[in-house]
Amino acid sequence: MAERQPVTLALLLAEVKSRLSDIGIDDPALEARMIVEHYSGTTRTDAIARPDLPISDDAASNIRAALERRLRGEPVHRIFGFRDFHGVRLKLSAETLEPRPDTETLVDAVLPHLRETVRTTGSCRILDLGTGTGAVAIALLHAVSQATGVATDISEDALATAAENARMAGIGSRLTFSRSDWFKKKSGRFHAIVSNPPYITTSDIAGLDREVRDFDPHRALDGGPDGLDAYRAIAVGSASHLEENGIVALEIGHTQKDAVTRVFAQAGFQPGGVFRDLAGTERVLVFSR
């Protein structure tokens, strides 16, 4: 009986790419590399220089199992169980949104204010509402060593995940966690209040891409009938929780700038800046009193 030939790196990459292409994945070559490299421990350099590299049966089995999950619509990073965000690796869980590059715009919008606050006062304190994985708060504290913060969420699962992410990022001692529905259980004042709140209108949830609709928690997506429920709650509650010269910074949907600005104007806030993501979309609004 002829000896069975091992599966090679090149063959696996071709197999995964072909099957992803068959279902219309936007960049099947990229996702094939991500899946194969993650489970085989290989690199892009290996694919070029060592295409005949044998891949173990265990690794090939894990790759094919991950592929089947991807073919059913599960996003790659959900399969891996983590996502890199603003230089920090974050674990994902069932009740956390997968942090996406657009949200890094929120971090970048707030960092200059935190650094200026530290320069003038020696420290700063942030409040992250609806923290999910902890992405925004962790990225801010990771970048500003004098900052401390509080992160809230209504989900115990999300808070546990965020706390583990903070520990892994080395900022666990500077970030505390609290189960709260927006400001209902919060006291104290902060130099910055930040949030990436639910902002999809309820009627639009069913029409989202299945990667979002079927795998992100709906509670973290659904912003109510007009998508503005969370912004109203944050606008009403922020005034009594801001330090003098503090800011509120929020991610928004691509059509929501004017509506969210009106909500905050009615609560006594003035616009402090509009920030665009890498695609040029108006993604973050900043407000001050």
**Per-residue pLDDT reduced to its tens digit, 210-248:** 889 889 889 899 999 999 999 999 999 999 999 999 999
Beta-carbon contacts of 104 under 8 Å, excluding residues fewer than 6 positions away, are 85, 86, 139
Q: What is the mean pLDDT of residues 162-177?
A: 97
The pLDDT, as a whole number, for residue 128 is: 97
Q: Are 136 and 96 in contact (CB under 8 A)?
A: no
- Considering the domain architecture, whether residues 173 and 276 belong to the same structural domain is answered as yes
Residue 152 lies in a domain: yes
Report how far residue 150's alpha carbon sits from residue 131's, in angstroms, rounded to the nearest whole number: 9
The pLDDT, as a whole number, for residue 181 is: 87
122, 189, 264 from 255: Cα distances, Å: 38, 30, 16
Beta-carbon contacts of 93 under 8 Å, excluding residues fewer than 6 positions away, are 133, 157, 158, 160, 161
The pLDDT, as a whole number, for residue 3 is: 53
Helix (H, G, I), strand (E, B) or coil at 195: strand
Q: Which of 43, 72, 101 is the last residue of a domain?
A: 72
The CATH number given to whatever domain includes residue 159 is 3.40.50.150
Q: Are 162 and 151 in contact (CB under 8 A)?
A: yes
- Considering the domain architecture, whether residues 138 and 281 belong to the same structural domain is answered as yes
What is the Cα Rg of the chain in Å? 22
pLDDT single digits (tens) 48-84: 999 999 999 999 999 999 999 999 999 999 999 999 9
- Considering the domain architecture, whether residues 108 and 11 belong to the same structural domain is answered as no
- Considering the domain architecture, whether residues 230 and 127 belong to the same structural domain is answered as yes
Report how far residue 177's alpha carbon sits from residue 180's, in angstroms, rounded to the nearest whole number: 9
- Considering the domain architecture, whether residues 68 and 97 belong to the same structural domain is answered as no
- Considering the domain architecture, whether residues 248 and 155 belong to the same structural domain is answered as yes
What residues make up the domain containing 174? 93-288
Report how far residue 257's alpha carbon sits from residue 262's, in angstroms, rounded to the nearest whole number: 9
Residue 1 lies in a domain: no
The pLDDT, as a whole number, for residue 242 is: 95
**What percent of the chain lies above the pLDDT cut of 70?**
98
Residue 2 lies in a domain: no
Cross-sheet strand order for the sheet of 270-276: 175-179, 147-153, 124-129, 190-195, 242-251, 282-288, 270-276
- Considering the domain architecture, whether residues 56 and 107 belong to the same structural domain is answered as no
Report how far residue 164's alpha carbon sits from residue 161's, in angstroms, rounded to the nearest whole number: 5
The pLDDT, as a whole number, for residue 175 is: 97
Does the pLDDT at position 186 exceed 80?
A: no
- Considering the domain architecture, whether residues 98 and 231 belong to the same structural domain is answered as yes
Does the pLDDT at position 184 exceed 90?
A: no
The pLDDT, as a whole number, for residue 2 is: 47
The pLDDT, as a whole number, for residue 1 is: 41
The CATH number given to whatever domain includes residue 65 is 1.10.8.10
Structural domain total, the chain: 2
Residue 87 lies in a domain: no
Residue 112's pLDDT band (cuts 50, 70, 90) = very high
